[in-house]
Structure 1
Amino acid sequence: MNQAVGESKIMSTDYHLQSILVIDDDLELTDMLSSYLTSMGYKVTICNDGEAGLAEAVSGHHYDLILLDVMMPKMDGFDVLKKLRASHTTPVLMLTARGDDYDRILGLEMGADDYLPKPFNHRELVARIKAIVRRHNIAAMGGAIEQDLAINGIFLSPSSQSVKVDDVVLALTTTEFSILRLLMLNAAKRVTKEEISLKVLGKPLQTFDRSIDMHVSNLRKKIVSVAHDEKIKTIRGVGYMLAKSE
């Protein structure tokens, strides 16, 4: 544990202090996470049931990331996520039972940015946290020098992290925004799932991992809800491509 903490301290200095909300009813785990993450310079808030966690998540306090367990008393993680996504785009990393594909897929469908099966390695947790927060900080770190993108009725602004489709503002999660940005930067070119996984999720694509498919599906639904046409094409067996207007 000491070695992992030391390694992660070096990694975490790339960014300003991150504020993390942990919603999990496992007292032993949350105590350990609080101690571990705090020792690396993170600011950690703990809630041990879904209702309290949701109330804290929408309280107006700023959180860079939410670690959200699935099985909890009073309100499970899915209900928390559903209610949270109705008004907030705070990045969410779901903590799921190992091997439970249903929980993972459902969490992604409902707007989770990523998932991590329990039990997990602490260094992997930190890597996932850093990858998600890095995506969320695109505006603060690079927005000033990144140009706005406008392709096929889609307008994406890195500086404000906003997206409009046919002049209608879309509420995208951090991951959806990053995927769309990558596709727009490579418009009319195929982008493989492996590339999306590495550049957006910050991890190699695993066999049978449907994370990318679920995120793209959610993104498509939001675009089609206002544009009424498919702007993201599937390259079967390879990945995806953003179509340019003809």
Structure 2
Amino acid sequence: MPNILLVDDDPGIRDLVSDFLGRHGYSVTTAEDGITMDRAISAAPSPFDLVVLDLMMPGEHGLEIARRISTPGGPGIIMLSAMGEDSDRIVGLEVGADDYLPKPCNPRELLARIRAVLRRRQGSNPEAGGVIAEFDGWKLDLVRRELTSPDGVLIALSDGEFSLLRVFVERPQQPLGREELLELARGRDADSYDRSIDVQISRLRRKLDGAVKNREELIRTVRNEGYMFTPKVIRR
């Protein structure tokens, strides 16, 4: 049974969402702010699989909380916000959130987003050909979800970044549109105005191109088509 941590200062939302998710097979722990969240994490017998995190709460801001819990091997993060601003969504993705929903949200949509994030985290079943994808000196372990640079340095990836990179290494040297990338990486229908994929790609580029200087750009923009992963990929 997946373990979900719901962090929201509104007791009505905590009760509604925890009851709904509980009826759909999830174990839900609730917290009202960053302090009670930390206590819940410390007291939990096992790590949480995913954190549903409100953006605007008393005390520590949701973005700061997301930044400190977004670590390699850490929980998935879905952010909620009543603000509804594109800038909030972009910053949330920048600090490591895997998805974002405006409040008030339909519990069924939240459930679908939770399932999609958990599916990406738990269901990265490597295709035939091996569990290690090698490209231009890099190694992506599809089971351990680890990216190693040509210099042997382990590069931290958020869940969203890993899912996007996995899509690229499984479809190298072919243009992929924004909508296609969004559907493949997140497991949901794409909105042609959803720019979150651009944010994730920007973050991936900084990590890939910034780690090794003077190398060809690994993720290339293809005019009127989308993006293309340029290197040859070998599966072992």
TM > 0.5 between the two? yes
Q: Identity percentage over the alignment?
A: 36
Aligned match of 2:144:
160
Distance in 1 (CA, whole Å) between partners of 2:104 and 2:89 is 14
State whether residues 71 and 156 of structure 2, in contact with CA within 8 Å, keep that contact through their aligned partners in structure 1. no
2:219 maps to 1:232: yes
Equivalent-residue separation in structure 2 for 1:47 and 1:101 (angstroms): 26
Aligned residue runs from structure 1 range 80-229, under 5 A:
80-85=65-70, 89-97=74-82, 99-139=84-124, 142-143=125-126, 147=130, 148-166=132-150, 167-228=152-213, 229=215
User: Relative to structure 1, is the Cα distance of residues 202 and 144 closer, same or farther in structure 2, using a 3 angstrom cutoff?
Assistant: closer
Helix, strand or coil for the counterpart of 1:102? Answer: helix
SS of residue matched to 1:111: coil
Q: Mean alpha-carbon deviation: is it higher for 143-152 or for 39-48?
A: 143-152
Following superposition, the deviation at residue 59 of structure 1 comes to 6.4
Match of 1:42 among 9, 16, 26: 26
Number of matched pairs: 227
2:14 is equivalent to residue 23 of structure 1: no
Q: State the Cα distance separating 1:108 from its structure 2 match.
A: 0.8
Query: Which consecutive unaligned segments of at least 5 residues does structure 1 have?
Result: 1-16
| Distance (whole Å) between structure 2 residues aligned to residue 69 and residue 34 of structure 1 | 14
Alpha-carbon distance, 1:207 to partner: 3.5
Say if 2:8 and 2:53, in contact at 8 Å, map to a contact too. yes
What is the distance in 1 between the residues matched to 2:110 and 2:230? 35
Q: Distance in 1 between matches of 2:13 and 2:133?
A: 43
Query: Matched residue of 2:202: which SS?
Result: helix
* TM-align CA RMSD: 2.0
Moved over 4 A (4+): 57-60, 143-146
Deviation at 1:38, TM superposition (A): 0.8
Q: CA deviation at 1:85?
A: 2.5
Counterpart amino acid of residue 226 in structure 1? A
- Over 3 Å counting, the alpha-carbon distance change for 1:196 and 1:76 in structure 2 is same
Is the helix fraction higher in 1 or 2? 1
Distance (whole Å) between structure 1 residues aligned to residue 72 and residue 146 of structure 2: 15
Secondary structure of the structure 1 residue equivalent to 2:102:
strand
In 2, Cα distance between equivalents of 1:67 and 1:112? 10
Cα distance in 2 between the residues matched to 1:209 and 1:41: 30
Aligned letter for 1:150? Answer: E
Cα distance, 1:154 vs. partner?
Answer: 2.1
